[in-house]
Amino acid sequence: MLGNYSGAVAITIGVLAVQGDVREHLRTLGSLGADVLAVRRPTELAVCDALVLPGGESTTMWKLARSFDLLEPLRDRVKTGMPTFGTCAGMIMLADRIADGVEGQETIGGLDITVRRNAFGRQVDSFETDLQVRGVEGSVHAVFIRAPWVEEAGPEVEVLARIDEGPASGHAVAVRQGAVLATSFHPEVGEDGRLHQMFVDMATGRR
């Protein structure tokens, strides 16, 4: 499915590249016609129109973002409206509040949610399921790897998808608040670019 989208988009989308599945996001975004950039420095962040925070390990991402002097610039950009898409650990980085974080764990914030880390872990570590996602036609095959879920969301947060079966049924796993999009699962894994397309559309003002 990748590469079937029409036209280049005149924006630069960065992927925070301190840890996690950076390459997969760069590849998917590139296939949709965006200029892509791996972001490790504040100067690189400064030239991005939009940003993806990849899946990986949020505690490591937090510590590295801090030691690369990226945490404050990231907070500034998200707060001032830069379109931002976080997947899995990236969703945790965007949450205003964490449940089951490690001692002192900080986030970038921007999403008025409480996210629960490793939320599915008690039942099952990693799994795949088909989800209905608001704004995407048909179902989305979602890959969950030690994933968080959205425990609680403020009134500005739109829930785009929930788990609809099993013990975790009812928990939100895709949300949007203004220019910020986040999923508990990994749309960067596999060949389905529709969630990234949704983000590109958000970033170019088409959604």
Q: Does 193 bind ligand GLN (CB under 6 A)?
A: no
Check binding of 204 to ligand GLN (CB under 6 A): no
Look up 141 and say whether it is catalytic: no
Question: Smallest distance, Å, CB 122 to ligand GLN?
Answer: 13
Angle formed at CA 160 by CA 194 and CA 23, multiple of 5 degrees: 40
Annotated catalytic residue, options 24, 48, 188, 196: 188
Instruction: Give Cβ neighbours of residue 44 (< 8 Å, ≥ 6 apart).
Output: 14, 37, 38
Q: Mark 173-191 as b/e (b = at least 16 C-beta within 10 Å).
A: bbbbbebbbbbbbbbbbbe
Our finding on whether 94 is near ligand GLN (CB under 6 A) is no
Residue 88 found at the interface with ligand GLN (CB under 6 A): yes
Q: Which is nearer to ligand GLN, 11 or 184 (CB)?
A: 184
- Tell me whether residue 188 is one of the annotated catalytic residues: yes
**Do residues 133 and 161 lie in contact, with contact meaning Cβ atoms separated by under 8 Å?**
yes
Residue 88 among the catalytic residues: yes
Size of the site for ligand GLN (CB under 6 A): 11
Helix axes 22-31, 194-203, angle to 10 degrees: 70
Binding to ligand GLN by CB under 6 A, coded x per residue (else -) over 129-158, reads: ----------------xx------------
Contact residues for 30 (Cβ-Cβ < 8 A; gap 6+): 36
Q: In the bound complex, what is the minimum distance in angstroms from residue 57's beta carbon to ligand GLN?
A: 5
Task: Tell me the CA distances in angstroms from 113 to 53, 128, 139, 188, 200, one per residue in order.
Answer: 16, 23, 25, 22, 23
Q: Segment contacting ligand GLN (CB under 6 A): 37-45, 54-62, 167-175, 194-202?
A: 54-62
- Calculate the alpha carbon distances from 74 to 13, 14, 66, 108, 136 in Å: 14, 12, 10, 7, 28
- Smallest distance, Å, CB 55 to ligand GLN? 3
Q: Of 31-39, 53-61, 187-195, 199-207, which part binds ligand GLN (CB under 6 A)?
A: 53-61
Catalytic residues: 88, 186, 188
Residues at the interface with ligand GLN (CB under 6 A) = 55-58, 88-89, 92, 117-118, 145-146
